[in-house]
Every structure is written in C-alpha cells, then in structure tokens.
Amino acid sequence: MPVMTMNAPAPGLVRLSDEQILLRDAVRVLADERVAPRAAAIDRDAVWPEDMRRLLGEHDVFAIPFSEQHGGLGADLLTLCLAIEQLSRHCATTGLILAVQALGAIPIQVAGTPEQQDRWLPRLASGEKLIAFGMTEADAGSDPSGIRTKAVLDGDEYVIDGTKRFISQGSVASYVVVFAVTNPGADKPSRRLSAILVETDRPGFAVTRLEHKMGIRGSPTAELAFDGVRVPVANRLGEEGQGFAIAMQTFERSRPGIAAQAVGIAQGALEVAASYATQRRQFGKPIGELQMVQAMLADMDAATEAARHLLYTACEEIEAGTPDAARWASIAKLVAGDTAMRVTTDAVQVLGGYGYIDEYPVERMMRDAKITQLYEGTQQIQRLIVARSLLARSG
Amino acid sequence: MRILVLTKPVPDPAAGAERLGPDLRLDRASSPTVVNGNDEYALEAALRLVEAHGGEVVILAMAPANAVETMRKALAMGAHRGILITDPALAGADLPTTIRVLAAAIAAAPEPFDLILAGFDTSDGNGGAVAAGIAVRLGLPLCSAAALIEPDLAAGSVRVRRLSAKGYDVVEAPMPTVLSCTQALGEPRYPSLKGIMAARSREIAVRSLADLPEGLAPADRGWATKVLSAAPPEARAVGRTVTAGPADAAREIADFLADRRLI
C-alpha cells in the first residue's frame, strides 16, 4: 500500500482567490516597472538597495504578512509567497528583502506576547524598521546545537556575548532575533536556547564583517558581534529554553518564502530564455524553432510550474494547520531550489555565450539561484526532515 | 472639494489585442482593458487636490458591464466611489451620444461637483471632445489642456495653467468647471496594496439608460455618425542611414534637420 494514503490525504487543487490575484498582479506591476530596471545594478554594485526597501514600504508590500491589527494586510502565507515570487522574477535581492522581513517577524508572531507584538510589529509592517533572524554561527549552521552565543541573566536583563555569522540584512536591521544559550545545563540540547529580540542600537552590538557573495549581492550578509549587550528580560520571546522550538516553527513558515524566491528566479530565467529563443537566429531561423532548444524550454517551463504548484499547495496546507507543516515547507523549498538551479543553468545554455556575460540577466539569476539550495536549511537538511517525517509515518 | 473624474476603460495598449467589430467600431470584448492613460493623470491630480483640501473623488465611466473590474483599479489609486453607466443600447455609441449620456449622469448626481476632470483624450477613440462637449451640455466653463490646477475654495474659483502652442496660459474660472487634463500634471501613483484591498469594498453604482432622463440614445440604436471604412496607417518609408565619419555625419544630420526647419 502506498505510504501516502495512510494518513496524508492528497490536498485539493489550489485556485488563487480574487484577492490573491489582485495583490499578486499589483506586486507584478511594481516588479516589472520599478524593480526590473534596478536589478542589474543592485547585483553589480553589491550595495543594499535602500530604494527598493522604500518601494516595498510605500506600497504596503511589507504589510502583507502582518495582521490588520498591527497595520498589515492580514494576508495569508500563499499571498506573501506570491509577492516574493513576483519580486524575485526580476531581482532575487529585492525578493529577499521581503522574505527576511517576514522571517524575522515570525518568532514575534508565534511566540510574542500581545504587548511585544504591539510594540514591534506595526513598525515592521510599515517597513519603518527592518528585522533580521540571528541563528547561524561560524560553527553552527545546519546543527544549531553548536550555538555558543550566550545570554546570562543579570537582574532583569540578559547580557549577551557571542558572534553570529551569515545574518541576512543584519547590518541594516533595527532588530535582530538572537538565538542564544540561556540554559547550558538543559537535559536536551534543544532546550538550551532562548529567542531574544535585540535592538541594534544597544551598546556592545557591532557589525564586524560583510561577506562578498556569489549571488543575492545587494543583500548584506553580516557577521554580528555581541559584546556584553544588555537587553531587558521583556525582550525574550516565549519562555527560556523554547528558542529551538520557536526557530523550528519559524522555518515552517519561512522556508516557503525561499521556495517562492526560487520559483520567481526560475520563472524570470525562463521568460528571458523563451524571449531570446524567438529573437536569436541561427541556421536561418529563430533558435526557438530548433527542437533541441524547444525541449529545453519545455522542460524548464514544466519544472517551474511543478515547483510553483507544489509551493502553493504547501502554503495552503501550512496555513490550514497541517501537523505535517515541516515536511510541506521542506519539500517545497527542496524542489523549488533544485528547480531554480536547473532552470537558470539551462537558461544560460539557451542563451549560449550571451548567457555567460552580464549583457543578459540569466548569469545573475544562475548565481542567485544557488543560495536557495543553501540557506534556511541546506537541501540536505530538507531531505533529512522529509525522510524523518516519512519514516515516522511508516514505522 | 467634490471632484468627478471621467475614467474610460480602454483596450490595454500593452496587450495589443484590439479588433474591430462588424460595424468597424472597436470590439470592446476583444481585449483586456485598463483605465485610459490620460485619465490616470486626471485622477492623480484629483487625488492630490483632495489630499490637500479634503473632499471626495468620484469616478464615472460609460462602458460595458465588465468595466467594474477596470474601475476598481482607479478606486485602488484612491478614488472614493464610482458610477458606471452601462446599457446594451449604448454599444458603439458615438461622441455626441457619449457626451449626452455622461453629462446627464453628472447632472443627475444628488450633490454638485466642484471640478469635472477628464483626460486630454483617450487612447482608443482619440476624439478629445468629451470634456468640451460636457461643458457645453452642462453650461459650465471649460479649461482645456490643464497642466496645473489651483482651486481657491474661499473664492469658489479655480486657476488653471494650460498648455498652449507657445508655452502656458493661466486662466481662471468659477467652479464648477470642466477640465481636460494633460500629463504635465504629474505621474499617476501606483495603487498601494492597502488601496487595492480597500477598493474591493468601495461602491460602484451601476446605472442603465432607464436611470437617466429619456431620449439619450436614438430609439433605432443607430448613431449620428457611421464608420464607412477603417484602415491602418500606411507603413512609414524606410529611414535614411547616415554612414559617414562622426564629423561629416553630424553635419549631414544637422543639414537634414535644418532643411526641415526642425533646428
């Protein structure tokens, strides 16, 4: 008997609501008209695009994943992913600005008290403040049990010491959700961590390094040093020792955002390749009339559409509260990331030599695609999560 | 201030899917529609005036019933409500009929408007006469080719800088007045996502000819004008390519332009 029929009923077909289509199309117009013309320069200059951040703020794009009570649009996870996808079609860095803002806010949304939410979320929804997610360290990537940053209670404050690395937008954020060891003697490694929101203007906080990256070059990836940073206990999200659980809950809702970025990158590359195939003439005709090129384009289109619909289904399942949320998030990110890598690589192939130079955007898209196989859990970690879920059901 | 803006749904120029019907008039079902580009400039000007002085922006269109969706895009930019005049008897209406119907709809509004704004012309019909026609019909002043609109609410007047062949004229008229609006007024805004969400619940009142005074459309559904033929413009002649070296080429191009009194 197939495993899937036991307790994971096939989800229904996803059809976008009128509201989702309206919002997607509005972001698409912004992406086509305002983001696309900036994408090449953002990559070339590798400078944080403050104009794109303002654009997302002015047009309420940041507001998408926040509740109306906090000044947001109260839209669902799928709508957020539609927006990230549209932005990433042209510029993976700009898509990431939205994805990281949503990522950083999730710990507040899932574990914050109403007071904490009122205090921080409205200014994140408006885009006035940016937030980063501070989990990774030099020696703790896929394995968070290696985290060494510690937060020691001193009266009604935590004193934080340590270094975080590979923190997206860490140098431009006003807040960082820091995962730090508060309970070194906990009975399980997963109970050692707490999530603490740190305002980056506190003494002892410093940006000590920015990485030079292969892709998403406009998005600053920062090393953050915490040298005796004092933060009120009221900044802790959830209880002491819940940090790891909060991070895992966060990934269930943030990995689809990375999958959306990947689908957007793939779609963008596919559009460039298809358009090029109708223009570029060799052997006396457009290369799109050559069957070997047609086959590549067809495979790229089919793969992108498959990844997209898997992502949309995952969003609907997660939003509906499936107990299998981690698996859905991981398979969406796994398939979308690998699809983006393959489709962008093939897009470069369709463009031939022109694909390899920066006159066309596909080489940038290929470089940008790679990160979607790496961050918010490598593809290997996604496979681990999917396999564990599958085997747990099958035992 | 109460401002009415005429927002005509026109075939999306980006789609390039327009077709003519058997009567040689535009088949309005053949193409996705957008708000006429120049009307968006008029709407932007209206929104800025209301943001500065308070009040309400109402949009008005005479169009097929499915125009509601296009009008919602104008509401998403910030207009407060809409009025759509739609009636099968108006399919293919010519300019005089369009003017009569729109003027009747404006006259039928329970509260008068201070300003009635229209785009300078439309990208489908290119008539450019609707604003003037409405002004005549309603006995109101017309300020055409507006490039700057400065109302004086205390005096009940509006001062308009209008584009002229040589530059600008500044004209003043008592309100209410009708304005045709140019792109010199300033770039229309993109709808914000909150605007899009809010637009979903804003009212678009749908009216038919029966809701307006009688006698607006000819009973036989014919129009005063008839399209006899329609043809695309002739293809342009091939341009001249200048292949000389930089200095000679510059001289040749300058001579070419000077011969035609372009420089």
DSSP states of B166-219: SSEEEEEEESSEEEEE-GGG-PPPPPPHHHHHHHTTS-EEEE-GGGS-S-SS-T
Q: Is there a contact between A60 and B200 if contact means CB atoms under 8 Å apart?
A: no
Q: What is the pLDDT of residue A4?
A: 45
Q: What is the pLDDT of residue B123?
A: 86
What is the mean pLDDT of the segment spanning A274-290?
A: 97
pLDDT at B202 over 60: yes
Q: Count how many pairs of residues, chain A against chain B, have C-beta atoms within 8 Å.
A: 32
3-state per-residue secondary structure call for B131-157: HHHHHHHHCCCEEEEEEEEEEECCCCE
Confirm if B58 and B117 have CB atoms less than 8 A apart: no
Q: Look over chain B and give the mean of its residue pLDDT values, rounded to a whole number.
A: 90
pLDDT at A191 over 80: yes
Q: Looking at beta carbons, which residues of chain A come within 8 Å of B194? A: 60, 63, 73
Query: DSSP state, B80?
Result: -
How many angstroms separate the CA atoms of A355 and A349, rounded?
7
State the smallest CA–CA distance between residue B213 and chain A in angstroms: 36
Say if A73 is an interface residue toward chain B (CB within 8 Å).
Answer: yes
Query: How does residue A369 score in pLDDT terms, banded at 50, 70 and 90?
Result: very high
pLDDT at B219 over 60: no
pLDDT at B92 over 90: no
Confirm if A193 and A180 have CB atoms less than 8 A apart: yes
pLDDT at A1 over 80: no
Confirm if B115 and B49 have CB atoms less than 8 A apart: yes
Interface residue ranges in chain B relative to chain A, Cβ cutoff 8 Å:
76, 190-197, 200
Q: What is the pLDDT of residue B204?
A: 96
Q: Looking at beta carbons, which residues of chain B come within 8 Å of A20? A: none
Query: How does residue A289 score in pLDDT terms, banded at 50, 70 and 90?
Result: very high
Query: How does residue B141 score in pLDDT terms, banded at 50, 70 and 90?
Result: very high
Q: Look over chain A and give the mean of its residue pLDDT values, rounded to a whole number.
A: 95
Whole-angstrom distance between the N-terminal and C-terminal Cα of chain B? 45
Q: Which residue has the tokens 């949009």?
A: B59
Q: What is the pLDDT of residue B218?
A: 59
Q: Looking at beta carbons, which residues of chain B come within 8 Å of A34? A: 190
State the smallest CA–CA distance between residue A71 and chain B in angstroms: 10
Q: Is A376 labeled as catalytic in the residue annotation?
A: yes
Structure confidence by residue, pLDDT tens digits, A83-142: 999 999 999 999 999 999 999 999 999 999 999 999 999 999 999 999 999 999 999 998
pTM, full prediction:
0.82
What is the mean pLDDT of the segment spanning A275-297?
A: 97
What is the mean pLDDT of the segment spanning A358-387?
A: 97
Q: What is the pLDDT of residue A126?
A: 97
Q: Is there a contact between B190 and A26 if contact means CB atoms under 8 Å apart?
A: yes
Select from B190, B197, B200 the Cβ nearest to the Cβ of A29. Answer: B190
pLDDT at B217 over 80: no
pLDDT at A314 over 60: yes
pLDDT at A389 over 90: yes
